[in-house]
Amino acid sequence: MSTPHQQMFFQHLFGIGQLSKEQIEHLVSMGESFIELSRRPIKKAPTLRGKTVINLFFENSTRTRTSFEIAGKRLSADVINISASTSATSKGETLLDTAETLAAMQPHVLVIRHSIAGTCEFLADFLPHTSIVNAGDGAHEHPTQILTDLLTLKTQASGYEGITMTIVGDIAHSRVARSHLLAAQKLGYKVRVVAPKTLLPSQVEQYGCEVFHNFDEAIPGSDVLYMLRVQTERLTDNCSFPSIREYHEAYGLNRKRLALAGDNCVVMHPGPMNRGVEISSDVADSARSRILDQVEHGVAVRMAVLTALCGTAPEPEKRTPRREKAEAAMQAQGKLL
Amino acid sequence: MTTLLIKGGRVIDPANGVDEIADIYIEDGRIAAAGGKAKTEIDASGLIVCPGLIDMHVHLREPGQEWKEDIESGSRAAVAGGVTSMCCMPNTKPRLDHAGVVRQVIERARQVGLCDVYPIGAVSRDLEGKELTEMRELMRAGAVAFSDDGNPIWHSGVMRKALEYASTFDFLIIQHAEDLQLTKGGCMNEGRISTQLGVSGMPAVGEDDMVSRDIMLAKLADARYHVAHISTRGAVELVRRAQAEGLKVTTEAAPHHFALTEEELLGFNADAKMSPPLRTEEDRQAVIEGLRDGTISVIATDHAPHHEDDKHCGLSCAAFGIVGLESMLPVSLGLEREGVLPMSDLIATMTSNPAKLLHLDAGTLSEGAAADICIFNPDEKWTLDRNKLFSKSRNTPWHGREMTGKVVHTIKNGRVVFQKGDVIG
């Protein structure tokens, strides 16, 4: 039998889809033990001293990037932030070249956010000596957000097993929704998705979730109302919804709707919020809201993830996979020509 | 006088209804009546001898994108796959929308001398879907049909006129049936897997609605209309009904659409990304059923070479298309093994059927015909290695997979141009 920590050994964190129940629970527990560090007067531990973490963000992000940065720094890692606007991509360098270049500087971990689904899996094929953490890839996965949410739920009396989480909003374009749907199947909580047909992905029932179009009907029996951020430009540009006003009326969470929920139902949001669109201020700021707890727990689980992954990648070599591939092709072609 | 004798093979010549053990005698590049001794002999016992294959849907990238493929590398890939005639699509740079470019492509193929290239002329100038090309002029230059492939002819008014004009002169219009408004931003079939991967999908209805509209327009224009690379259950059914109604509607299927499904995309495999995309198992079965009952009369590859850099950028950014010339025959032979089509009918989909559709002087072993011949072992197993393709590009979903059926010799105009795994000439 391998210990839980040995089972934890994996080089990359692409998504919830790759993880077992035990691995998810182990990361959440590790995260729980890190909460206390951030509450100390001196918020520093030597765990990752001598490790290098690069945050490579091709999409705007405040909380996720900051969260990874603080997580790394509190554990004494050297953390470098690169955002797309300041990187070489604006000079016409390809994504792969940027990633290969950074990997050649021998970081232990590359934390990547990109608008293209599958970016981390794609890059990992070419960067065998770096650990890659997915900080959000298109509408695919956002694993550290889900670990964050699970930690927040774990600190609740209800826990997460057996609860009903009702996720409301643009399910079609939400990586958070997808990752929760995968986690729910592994960890045994129920998910209800609430959205108009224009914001639901094809065959979402494959995840075993309940589908609602009427928000009011989905609220009773919910333990968590999980409100997704509405990207307002996306909503109206492709005719997914006629107006923000009508969206709020149909799918926004306000005090009146919250009254339909049970006494222990809490409200969560991955942020950043659009007050008055998917959530009204009185709900966001109410005692039911766990939104700022999520932010705090986000730092803790990212500490857990960086700790788990740092040092799992094999030692670097001179030859990159791309060079090997090119050489193999040239050899084969040379024989033919 | 050069002579060549192919001895003892199973000769399958669907154009003449031949399927028997026989010798083929070639004199001065043409099939001759059985003769005596020949200077060269090929022992074809245990092998199948059929007309050189015709692939009526390839992208050769020359002129304009020669780093992906050119007429020479494309011709080498063709003969390695047993193909001796191919039709190249007009989305080159410049487009095949002027007679000069059409002549240039044909001339270059003649210089290479491995495989006949029959250009498909553009329907509209610069493939913009606005003004028609000079189709008669292009036909005189050597074009054999018309298409804007890569793009659909999306404008209903232009499509109507194109069909009417083409029908006037009995030209064939080949449509890349895709409703771009419905497929916008998509990189694979819309459905279960696209939802899992979190990528935008291309719904099947985006093919069905275009085919449906086109069939109505083809009926109105009394035109010959051909659906390229058909991939959905709905589109196959639409073509079947149109044929039952007596309309001059035909279609082709690509090997990947009857051999693979959207499952290939799991793991964000850009070498399984093409348009139309790999569909569901239900669609795949419908394409197979279409081949079985003859609704789909042609197998064509949609050979679409792309450089690695165009594929190595994340699934949703990767270019559409896969190479297909060198895997066409072994993948298609699966249909015979699975009992979908008898060998002779299967070979007809890659020889006599496209020849008839495009009025090509090819795809037959009749006496006096050009001696274009494919000799293959239907049972030989081999593993496809992307690095060993003759194409310049390596974007194939079949890398590392076992293939059953291997081309042993390819003969063009009586000359052996491929044997023992090597292109000669």
pLDDT of residue B340: 98
Distance CA B343, CA B330 (A): 12
Class of domain A157-289: alpha beta
**What is the residue-wise DSSP string for B66-101?**
TTT--HHHHHHHHHHTTEEEEEE-S-SSS-S-SHHH
CA distance A43 to B338: 67
pLDDT recorded at residue B34: 76
Residue closest to A53 by CA, chosen among A297, A302, A306:
A306
Q: What is the pLDDT of residue A331?
A: 78
Check: pTM over 0.90? Answer yes or no.
Answer: yes
Per-residue pLDDT tens over the stretch A124-163: 999 989 999 999 999 999 999 999 999 999 999 889 999 9
Closest CA of chain A from B314, distance in Å: 6
How far is it, in rounded angstroms, from Cα A134 to Cα B81? 42
Cis omega (within 30 of 0) on the bond before B94? yes
Q: Which alpha helices (DSSP H) does B169-221 contain, by range?
A: 180-183, 192-197, 205-221
Judge contact between B355 and B363, C-beta under 8 A.
Answer: yes
How many Å apart are CA B153 and CA B192, to the nearest integer?
29
Q: Which residues does B contribute to its contact with A (CB < 8 Å)?
A: 190-192, 194-199, 201, 203, 267-268, 270, 309, 312-317, 385-388, 390, 394, 422
Reported as type and span, the H/E element at residue A134 is strand A131-137
Say if A4-142+296-314 and A157-289 have the same CATH topology.
Answer: yes
- Per-residue pLDDT of B117-135, as tens digits, reads 999 999 999 999 999 999 9
Maximum CA pair distance of chain A? 75
pLDDT at residue B106, as a whole number: 98
Q: Which CATH class is domain B3-47+374-423?
A: mainly beta
The architecture in CATH of the region B52-364 reads: Alpha-Beta Barrel (3.20)
Whole-angstrom distance, CA of residue A173 vs CA of residue B201: 12
Q: Would you say B124 and B150 are in contact if contact means Cβ atoms under 8 Å apart? A: no
Q: B385 to chain A: nearest residue by CA?
A: A332
Range B336-343 contact pairs with CB under 8 angstroms and sequence separation of 24 or more:
B336/B378, B337/B404, B340/B288, B340/B291, B340/B292, B341/B291, B341/B292, B343/B12, B343/B19, B343/B48, B343/B378
A4-142+296-314, what's its fold? Answer: Rossmann fold (3.40.50)
Interface test with A, best of B312, B390, B422 (most A CBs within 10 A): B312
Report the pLDDT value the prediction gives residue A1, as an integer from 0 to 100: 42
Q: What pLDDT score was predicted for residue A337?
A: 44
pLDDT for the residue numbered A326: 79
> How many contacts (CB atoms, under 8 Å) link A and B?
78
| Minimal-distance CA residue of chain B relative to A98 | B313
Cβ of B385 and A332 within 8 Å?
yes
Of A138, A206, A328, the CB nearest to B198: A138
What is chain B's mean pLDDT, rounded? 97
Where are chain B's structural domains? Answer: 3-47+374-423, 52-364
Of residues A141, A175, A202, nearest to B194 (C-beta): A202
pLDDT at A318: 64
Q: Residue A285 corresponds to which tokens in the numbers above?
A: 């700021």
Whether A202 and B385 lie within 8 Å, measured CB to CB: no
CB contacts of B425 in chain A (<8 Å) are none
- Taking the C-alpha atoms of residue A83 and residue A158, their distance in angstroms, rounded to an integer, is 38
| Catalytic option among B13, B302, B345, B372 | B302
Cα–chain center distance at B105: 17
How close B388 gets to chain A, by Cα (Å)? 6
Give me the pLDDT at residue A205, please: 96
Over residues B288-343, the pLDDT tens digits come to 999 999 999 999 999 999 999 999 888 999 999 999 999 999 999 999 999 999 99
Report d(CA A106, CA A316) in Å as an integer.
8
Q: Which residues make beta-bridge pairs with B193?
A: none
Mutate to test the interface with B, among A97, A119, A125, A174 (most CBs of B within 10 A): A119
Q: How confident is the model at residue A231 (pLDDT cuts 50, 70, 90)?
A: confident
Give the residue among A319, A322, A152, A304 at the shortest CA–CA distance from A226. A152
Three-state SS for B404?
strand
- pLDDT tens digits, one per residue of B133-166: 999 999 999 999 999 999 999 999 999 999 999 9
User: Quick one: pLDDT at residue A310?
Assistant: 87
For B213-228, write each residue's pLDDT tens digit.
999 999 999 999 999 9
For the stretch B226-275, pLDDT in tens is 999 999 999 999 999 999 999 999 999 999 999 999 999 999 999 999 99
Contact check, Cβ <8 Å, B316/A203: no
Tell me, yes or no, if B302 is annotated catalytic. Answer: yes
**What DSSP element (H or E) covers B415?**
strand B415-419
Alpha helices in B153-204 (DSSP H): 156-168, 180-183, 192-197
Lookup: tokens for A57:
């963000």
Tell me whether strands A266-268 and A224-227 are parallel, antiparallel or unpaired: parallel
Q: Supply A193's token pair.
A: 């998705």
> In 3-state terms, what secondary structure has residue B422?
strand
Whether residue B195 and residue A122 make contact (CB cut-off 8 A), yes or no, is no
pLDDT above 60 for A3: no
Select from A180, A203, A204 the residue whose CB has the most chain B CBs within 10 Å, as the one to mutate to test that interface. A203
Q: What are residue A332's phi and psi, to 5 degrees?
A: -60, -45
**What length does chain A have?**
337
- Domains in chain A: boundaries: 4-142+296-314, 157-289
Answer whether B74's CB lies under 8 Å from B391's CB.
Answer: yes
Confidence grade of residue A7 (pLDDT, cut at 50, 70, 90): low
Set of chain A residues whose Cβ sits within 8 Å of the Cβ of B387: 328-329, 331-333
Nearest CA-CA distance, residue A6 and chain B, Å = 25
Q: Which range, of A31-45, A216-230, A307-321, B101-115, averages the lowest pLDDT?
A: A307-321
φ/ψ of residue B163, rounded to 5 = -65, -40
Q: Is A105 on the interface with B (CB under 8 A)?
A: no
Nearest to B394 among A95, A126, A329 (CB): A329
- Answer yes or no: is pLDDT of A336 > 70: no
Nearest-Cα residue of chain B relative to residue A176: B198
A94 touches chain B (CB under 8 A): yes
Predicted pLDDT at A8: 60
Torsion of CA B182, B289, B359, B351, to 10 degrees: 120
Average of per-residue pLDDT values in chain A = 91
Q: Which of the four pLDDT bands, split at 50, 70 and 90, describes residue A93? A: confident
pLDDT band at A110; cut points 50, 70, 90: very high
Please state, in angstroms and rounded to a whole number, the distance separating the CA atoms of residues B257 and B252.
10
Distance CA B177, CA B229 (A): 9
- Mean pLDDT for the stretch of residues B352-370: 97
